[in-house]
Amino acid sequence: MGNDYSIQAVVRAIDVLDEMSGIGREFSITDLIMRTGMPKSYLFRLLQTLQSKQFLEVNSINGKYRLGLKTVAMGQTAIRQLEIAKYSGPALQALKNSSGETSFYARFDGANVRIFDVVHSSQSVRAVAMVGSSLPLHCTAAGKLQMAFSDAALLSRCLDDCHLEKYGPNTIVARSSLLDELSRIMDQGYAVEDEEFEAGVGGVAAPVMNRNNKLAGILGVVAPVSRLNRDRLENELIPLVISAGEEFSATCNVG
């Protein structure tokens, strides 16, 4: 019944915003034509309208579109309205203090893993994560963890939707290799990312479970790979992130 009342122009505007939030980068109008299938003239008018209302802005150097300040403000307001926001901030601050690295909490939005809250590292060289941005499933620690904990039907849909696009130098692009990786993640209870999404950046993610022992969210850290050698991962960061995820699960009893 809901579709009977949808306004097509609004639906298409939301589709554009969804595409642009999906991987947190800038898009040319050609990119958006390919991703949305909209006619160029119609899409251009839509982009101009969104820009005039500050939902989009244009990079003055390369002419590409990116999300505007209005989307940031709305996203932060939405987060403050959610009950779990009371718990994510202190949990991330504690994880940042113990690890020294940028810490984040994310949740599955039906297509990607969306960053819900972030506490950035205070180190001068650090990885940056943006609240409200979405992470691809197949090439981030958080995304792989989400797929590993998904049931067979959801996993199949996620694999089909992500297209195994290559982002970083170590992106897993073979379906069989990714399935092997997901099996390991499920067995060990955490996921590691090594320059799969972005060159020079890696991370660790662990599950936040709800009262029914189902995945409700993901807690993790991201950092320059120069600080992510195997010894530090195995003896410091992985145990810290797993412990933080377990503590967060028990503290907030997420639904």
The pLDDT assigned to 225 comes to 97
pLDDT by 10-residue block (mean), the chain, 255 residues: 66 83 74 88 92 89 86 67 68 96 92 89 92 88 96 90 90 96 97 96 95 90 97 97 93 63
Q: For the whole model, what pTM was predicted?
A: 0.73
- Domains located in the chain, CATH noted: 2-72 (1.10.10.10), 82-252 (3.30.450.40)
User: Mind listing the pLDDT tens digit for each residue in 82-120?
Assistant: 556 667 888 999 999 999 999 999 999 887 898 888 999
In Å, the largest CA–CA distance within the chain is 57
What's the pLDDT at 84? 61
Residue 178: both structure tokens together: 């990714």
Tell the residue number behind the tokens 């990116």, with chain if given: 66
- The residues near 77 (Cβ < 8 Å, ≥ 6 apart) are none
Buried b (16+ CB within 10 A) or exposed e, 47-61: beebeeeebbbeeee
H or E element, residue 165: none
Residue 74 has which token pair?
A: 């709305």
Residues in a beta bridge with 215: 209
Predicted confidence at residue 1, as pLDDT, reads: 43
Confidence (pLDDT) at 129 = 87
Collapsed DSSP state (helix, strand, coil) of residue 59: coil
